[in-house]
Structure 1
Amino acid sequence: MKKISILLIIIFSFGCKSSTVVINNEDASQNIIPKPSKGDVIMASSLNSDKRYLVSSEELKNIVEYMASDELNGRDTGSEGIEKAAIFIENSFMKSNIKPYFTTYRDSFNLKGVNAYNIVGFIEGTDATLKKEIVIIGAHYDHIGTAKQVNEDIIANGANDNAAGTSAVLEIADYLAATKNNKRSIIIALFSAEEKGLKGSEHLAEKLKAQNINLYTMLNFEMIGVPFTDRPYEAFITGFELSNMSAKINEYTNTSLTGFSEVAKKYDLFKHSDNYPFYQAFKLPCQTISSCDLSNYNYYHHVDDEADKLDYNHMERLINKLLPAIESMCNTPTKEIKMNNE
C-alpha cells in the first residue's frame, strides 16, 4: 500500500462447460466446496451468499506465507526478492493455464534506472461480442523492503500489504481459468512499484489506454488480511460515492458485503492504490476493495506485518462471497456498473 493507501480491485466470472457443480444452501460453517476441475461449472443462481466454496484459507495462507517470507526480503522494487515473487506469480499463471496478455507475462518499465515489471495474464471471454470488453482484476505484489528495526528485525514482510491481495487475485484467477465461464475478457494484473507512487499501475494504465482497450471496470484488492469488528459490512470500496460499484456488488451477492469507510474518505484512499491510475486514464469505475482502513491493523509498513498476523478464514469468506459478484461483472449483457455522474 502506497503511503496511506488501501486496497483494491478485481473482477471475473464463471461459465458453462461439460459437467455442472451445484452449490446448495447449507450453512457456511459446515464445509468448503472444493475448487472445480476444468469442465465443471458453478451455477451462480444456486449459490447461497454465506456459502464458503472454491477458494480455501489453506491455499491463501500458503501464498501469503511465501510472498511474505524473509526469503523475499520485503519485495522492494528492483530487488532479488521481488524477482522471486515475480517468478512465483508467473509459475502460478502457468499452472492455471493463464496466457500472457503481452508477449510474455512481464510488462516492463524503467523506474529511475531500476528495471521493474508488472505481471499480466489474460483470460479471453467466451462471447463473440462481449469478449471485446475488458474487466481488470489487480493487486500490487511489491512492498517496501525494510522498515524500522524491532527486536533485530528490519524486514518489512508486507503480509497484509499486499501479499493478502496478491493471494486473492491468484486464487480468483486460477478458478476463472479453470471454469472458462467469463463472457467478457479478463486481464489479471499484479503490479510492481505501488510503494514507489503507483508507478506500475500507472505504466500499465497508460499502455492499455494507448491500445484503446474497451475497459468495463477494474477491481483492485489491497489489505484484505484482517476483518472489521465494528462495521455493518465486511469490506469497503474506495471512492464509494463515485460509482454504483458497492451497490452492485451487494445486489449481485444479495448481501451487505461492501460499504462506505469514513476513514478511507478522510485519507482519500481512493487515490492511494492501484485503482487510481486506471480511473485517471479511463474515467470509469476503477476501485479498490479492502477490509483494512488502517483503523483495524497496527502493522502498516511495520516489520511485524507478518503472515501469522492475518485471518485466513476471514479472507476465505470475503473472497468466496465476492465470486458471484465477479461472475456478474463478467457476464451481464450490458455494462451495469457505472459512474454516478452518468
Structure 2
Amino acid sequence: MLLSIPGRLFGPEQPAAGSAVFAAMDDIGLRITTEDGRHLAPTNSQLQLRYAGFDGKHWQLSWSEGDRHWALLFDDAAAIAAIEHEPPAGLREAVAGLLASRRRGSMRRGLGLSAIGLWLALPLLLLVALFVAARPLSGWLAGFVPLQQEVKLGDWFFDQQKAGLDLITDTPANAALEAIGARLSEGSAYPFRWHVVRDPTLNAFAIPGGIVVVHSGLILAADSADELAGVIAHEIEHVEQRHSLRAMLREAGLRLAVAAVIGDFGIAGSAAGQLSSLSFSRDSEREADELGLQRLARAGIDPDGMLRLFAKLDAESKGQAPPAWLASHPTTPERIARLRERIGQLPSTPRRPLAIDWPAVQSSLGS
C-alpha cells in the first residue's frame, strides 16, 4: 500500500509555520523530499503517532534522528481514512491506540455534555418534580399540622370565604344544627362550629378544624332531624379523620401546607380555593360513612336516617346533574347497599330521639 499524504513538515531548517510537503507512506516508512531538496526516510518503527492541532482533528507523525526532531502534521481526510482502514505495518498498534483514545474522548465529551445539560436542566427538573409531588407531599404534611394550627387554618379559611356566603343566624334551623352537632361531637378534641347558609343547593361541607357548613337546601330536602344528622355525622368524620385537611392541602399546594404547619397564614395568600368543591377518595368516603354510622349509634340517633337521605339524594339525581353534596360525596347503589349492611351489623344501642320540631325548622328557612 502506498499513500500520498499532503501535510506540513516541521523540523530543523524549516519555517516556524512548517513547509508544505507531500509524503509517501508504505509498509516500510515515510519518504519525504523537502523544499530544499533533502530526502527524509524514517521507518515505521521510528514513527510516533498522535492527534494534534487546535481541534484535535489533525494527525501527527513524529520521529527523531539523533538530536534532530521532525514532525509531519496532516489532516487530509482520504489519507486518514486509508490509514484507519488499513494501517501500515509497524503502525497498526499505534493506530489502534489512537482510535481507542478517540472513542474514550468522545465518550468523555458525551458524558461531559450530558452532565452540563443535566446541570443546566436541574432547576427545571426540580420545578417539574416539585409540581408533580406537590399534591401528595402537601397531603403528607397534613400529619404534621398541630390541632391548634388546624383550627386556626379553618378560622382563617372561613373568614376568607364568609363574605361570599349568605349566612343565616338565630333561627330554629341554627338551633337544630347546633343541637344535632353537639350530640354527635360530644367528647371530640375539636371545637366544632356550625353554620347555616342560605343556598338552595343540596350541600354540606366540613372545613378543617371543626367548622361545618350546611346549605338551607339540604335542610329543606331532609324529612327529619335524623336524616340531617346522618350527613352531619359523615362531615364530622371528615374532620376527625383529617380528610378535609388533607384534601384542602392537596388542592391548595405546598404554600398552604407549609403555612398550616408553621401557623403563618400570611404566606398562604389566597391558596385555599373553594373547599366546598373538594372531593375525597373512595377510602375516605367509606371511612366517613362507617365511622359516621358508629357515631350516630353511640349518640342514640337512628342511623337509618343517613341511609334514607343518601338514597333520596341518589334517586333525585337520576337523569340530571347530581346535587352539590353528591358531586363531592358520590353515592352509588353499591355504597347504599354497603351502608345497609353496616347498619345491620351495628350493636343494639338505646335510641334517644332528637327533640326537634322539624316542621318549625324548615318553616324558618322558607320554601
Asked if TM exceeds 0.5, the reply is no
More helix by proportion, 1 or 2? 2
TM-score under structure 1 length normalisation:
0.26
Q: Which structure ranks higher in relative contact order (CA pairs < 8 Å, sequence separation ≥ 6)? A: 1
Structure of greater Rg: 2
Structure 2 length normalisation: TM-score? 0.25
